[in-house]
Amino acid sequence: QVLLVESGGGSVQAGGSLRLSCARSGDTYRNYRIGWFRQAPGKEREGVATIYTGEGRALYADSVKGRFTVSQDKTKNMVYLQMNSLKPEDTAMYYCAAVPFLPLPRLFAPDAYTYWGQGTQVTVSS
């Protein structure tokens, strides 16, 4: 069983930055695909970034490429999402999710992930 806990959300003005954290416990000796997702009211959940804890390679959705950076601290079983140049349209509940392995076409598919955190709210005002 894997437990994920997000933190770091908050309210910022457009152009500001936030760093979200995802703490993973349980089955920590195994590598996982960690995804960052967000869901705004009335919208579907969308993937924004993903990293495989094995080799640490990150991939990004076009909507956040160049502004968001995902990283990890393997010694602490932590994954981070650094969000810069935030826009009002980035406002959403942000979740981290985990699954042992995913093929490339499924990396941003919410239904492909097994474990989910409770989410942390990010609000960007104009």
Q: What is the pLDDT of residue 28?
A: 82
- CA-CA-CA-CA dihedral for 115, 53, 27, 104, to nearest 10: 50
In this prediction, what percent of the chain has a pLDDT beyond 90?
A: 90
Instruction: Report the pLDDT averaged over residues 23-33.
Output: 91
Q: Which of 116, 99, 121 is nearest to 4 (CA)?
A: 116
